[in-house]
Amino acid sequence: MNRRKFIYSVGMAGMSLPALNAVSAAEHAPKAKSVINLFLSGGLSQYDSFNMEVDQSVIANSKIIKSNVDGVRVSHYFPTLAKQMDQLLVINSMRSNQGAHPAGIYKMMTSYDPRSSVTHPQLGAWVNKRLTTDQDSLPNFVSIGKGSAGTAGFLPGQWAALPVMNTRTGIDFVQRNAAVSEGKFKNRLDILDSLNQSFEQDYSNKATRAYVDTYQGSLKFMNSNDIDAFELENEEESIVRLYDKQEFSRSCLLAGRLVERGVRFVKVELGGWDYHDNLYGKFASNAAKLDKGLSSLLTHLSQKGLLETTLVVVSTEFGRKPEVNPNKGRDHHPDGFTCLMAGAGVKAGQVYGTTTKDGQSAADDALDVTDFNATIAWRLGIDPGYEEKSASGQPFTLANKGEARKELFA
């Protein structure tokens, strides 16, 4: 094995692995053990999906269908999820102050506006640092799919996400090279440990300790009995049959397997929602992926007895405008978009918040993205006001000024 290449891949690229001295400290008894965040990058059109409580002119070419819950309606693009709306809470009053993709994604992922002077940790990194224990053998922040893998920001790199770009190719460098015997590998590790101890006495600092922790975590991950969670062919056939063979469905299957093994935060990305033109020619394909993948995941978690302890969230950086533009698409709209929650005791089968009937803005129970992230952290038992300092010594809290919306849960 090329040691430098391995460490670069799992450390510098952001592989999040349990540090030996990490402390688990939940501020209250958590109702959720894990979070699966299905992130729809590009900006889901709320008026062609789950917000049907607006004027017909806003809905445009989408058709309204009834769900299995009286009073909850969805777009015809989601016929499978329509039969499972009793498991979902629809939040129609989301809002953000960012209307461009990079800034909007950054805000949704971190709760902060982008700054040139600092990079903030993503929510998964905060969760990883706060809840990882010495007993954990898998990383507690995993990012599945293309897009931003999940930065640790100003936190040490060991808290960043383990990136899984493709479920079929797996994870690189997790097996000892066949050319290096087990004994020879152990000898090399002993030499490295001796060198690290000498270095620690004279030159240790926060950065070098984080590097050593990442290395030790990498070795722990390589030897974990739970690493087979990434092998989808090992799943029960009855669960595999719930999903189709598309990559997003496979990613949802992997997410379910990871939370079953105790992983705290899994982000699954499904991009391609930026339909400025030909919305009604392009939207159906992506909607079908979400409809099948999310529906299968909810059934998977229910059958495994995991839905009560897993908070499933569907988020996006912003929504789309209520007007269909001359190119037959919808442009960016950060005020009054839609996100979903399921599991972990949410008030499923309900709609929280409204937009104005013309679709222009959030109305009742407006919920900022910082509140959304604060709510997720709180449900995991983490204080949204938990504070860490950046390299410059400036304090930042997990959810910025966001407040948990406890009323979303029974």
* DSSP code per residue over 41-102: TT---GGGTT---S-HHHHTT--EEE-SSTT-EEETT-HHHHTTGGGEEEEEEEE-S--SHH
pLDDT of residue 246: 97
Residue 113 three-state SS: coil
What's the CA gap between 8 and 282, in Å, rounded?
A: 39
Torsion over CA of 208, 210, 212 and 213, rounded to 10 degrees?
Answer: 160
In single-letter form, the type of residue at position 15 comes to M
| pLDDT-derived band at 21, boundaries 50, 70, 90 | very low
For residue 158, with 0-12 CB atoms within 10 Å meaning exposed, 13-18 middle and 19 or more buried, which class applies?
A: buried
What's the CA gap between 280 and 292, in Å, rounded?
A: 19
**Where do the domains of the chain lie?**
12-175+227-408
Instruction: Please count the helices (runs of H) and the strands (runs of E) in the chain.
Output: 11, 15
| pLDDT-derived band at 172, boundaries 50, 70, 90 | low
pLDDT of residue 22: 38
Helix axes 279-303, 247-260, angle to 10 degrees: 30
Q: Is the pLDDT of residue 4 over 80?
A: no
Residue-wise pLDDT tens digits, 40-78: 999 999 999 999 999 999 999 999 999 999 999 999 999
214, 11 Cβ separation under 8 angstroms: yes
pLDDT of residue 30: 76
CATH classification number, 12-175+227-408, choose in 3.30.70, 3.30.1050, 3.40.720, 3.10.260: 3.40.720
Tokens of 64: 């309204």
pLDDT of residue 192: 74
Handedness of CA 406, 150, 85, 280 (dihedral sign): positive
Backbone angles phi, psi at 256, to 5 degrees: -65, -40
Mode of pairing for the β-strands spanning 34-39 and 265-269: parallel
Would you give the DSSP letter of residue 117?
S
Would you give the DSSP letter of residue 320?
E
For residue 322, with 0-12 CB atoms within 10 Å meaning exposed, 13-18 middle and 19 or more buried, which class applies?
A: buried
Q: What's the mean pLDDT in 120-138?
A: 95
Long-range contacts made by residues 110-117, C-beta under 8 angstroms, separation at least 24? 110/153, 111/369, 111/370, 111/373, 111/374, 111/398, 111/399, 111/400, 111/402, 112/396, 112/400, 117/392
Q: Is the pLDDT of residue 335 over 50?
A: yes
In single-letter form, the type of residue at position 257 comes to R
Q: What's the mean pLDDT in 202-230?
A: 66
Quickly count: other Cβ atoms within 10 Å of residue 176's Cβ.
Answer: 15
